[in-house]
């Protein structure tokens, strides 16, 4: 499988690139700085110099040629303000979808966030940090834009992310409750989902749990499709 990863130099992105390459996949990492290239080529990935805040869908689509799937794992990152939450977490995901459609790539995995449903229901605590609220609104808007498109879309909403060692065991499903999950386990789940086309059309919460990752992904598939 040939997978293009947006946000490939981020914490989850690099772990995903490594996980996919270990599975024997071909990976193209999108990076916006030449200084990031060597980190990914050392893992065995190809690299395309793309800035999702500056480039257009035509430019991005060239990096998606021959791809079987794309993953949006990009984010404005810690310390960024509300404006960049929109330009990266929303607009970047939308731009990647535009480019995927232009390049004829249907499979799309979106890394979103828990808390999106609360934003949609206007049920966010009044004391929520404004930047966090902007982040959740951007993720909600990205989901809303992508859902009606003719994509084989899987949305993954991780809980609170940690840098602890991966456990290889998670809770994955439509309603898993709040909780933490390691970035390593998130990357492993994404890699498994990419190799399970029956997860297309699903929106899945993700936290640490007790199920092996391959079992958790299988159990997330509707019973009539197993």
Report the distance separating Cα 30 and Cα 145, nearest Å: 21
The predicted model scores a pTM of: 0.96
Query: Which residue in 68, 77, 73 sits closest to 96, CA to CA?
Result: 73
Looking at residue 78, what is its pLDDT? 74
- Looking at every residue in the chain, the average pLDDT score rounds to 96
For the chain, the distance separating the N- and C-terminal CA atoms, rounded to the nearest angstrom, is 22
Q: Tell me the pairing of strands 180-182 and 69-72.
A: unpaired
- Residue 125: pLDDT band by 50, 70, 90 thresholds? confident
pLDDT higher at 121 or 94 = 94
Please tell me the distance from the alpha carbon of residue 65 to that of residue 138, in angstroms, as a whole number. Answer: 27
pLDDT tens profile 57-101: 999 999 999 999 999 999 987 777 888 999 999 999 999 999 999
- Residue of 33, 49, 50, 39 lying closest to 17 (CA atoms): 39
d(CA 224, CA 226): 6
In 3D, which of 81, 76, 79 has the Cα closest to residue 93? 76
Strands 211-212 and 152-158: unpaired
Contacts of 51 (CB under 8 A, 6+ apart): 32
CATH code: domain 2-225 is: 3.40.50.720
pLDDT category at 222 given cuts 50, 70, 90 is very high
């Amino acid at each position: 499988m040939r997978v293009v990863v947006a946000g490939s130099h981020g914490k989850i992105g690099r772990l995903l690139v490594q996980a996919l390459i270990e599975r024997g996949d071909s990976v193209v990492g999108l990076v916006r700085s030449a200084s990031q290239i060597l980190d990914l080529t050392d893992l065995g990935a190809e690299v395309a110099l793309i800035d999702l805040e500056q480039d257009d869908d035509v430019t991005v689509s060239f990096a998606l040629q021959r791809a079987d799937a794309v993953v949006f794992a990009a984010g404005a990152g810690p310390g960024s303000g509300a404006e960049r939450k929109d330009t990266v977490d929303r607009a970047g995901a939308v731009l990647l979808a535009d480019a995927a459609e232009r390049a004829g790539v249907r499979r799309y995995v979106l890394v979103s966030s828990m808390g999106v449903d609360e934003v949609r229901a206007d049920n966010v605590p009044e004391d929520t940090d404004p930047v966090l609220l902007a982040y959740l609104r951007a993720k909600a808007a990205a989901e809303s834009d992508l859902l009606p498109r003719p994509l084989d879309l899987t949305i993954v909403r991780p809980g609170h992310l940690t840098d602890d060692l991966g456990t290889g065991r998670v809770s994955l499903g439509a309603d898993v409750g709040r909780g933490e999950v390691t970035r390593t386990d998130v990357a492993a789940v994404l890699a498994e989902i990419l190799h399970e086309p029956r997860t297309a059309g699903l929106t899945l919460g993700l936290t640490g749990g007790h199920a092996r990752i391959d079992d958790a992904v299988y159990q997330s598939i509707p019973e009539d499709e197993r």
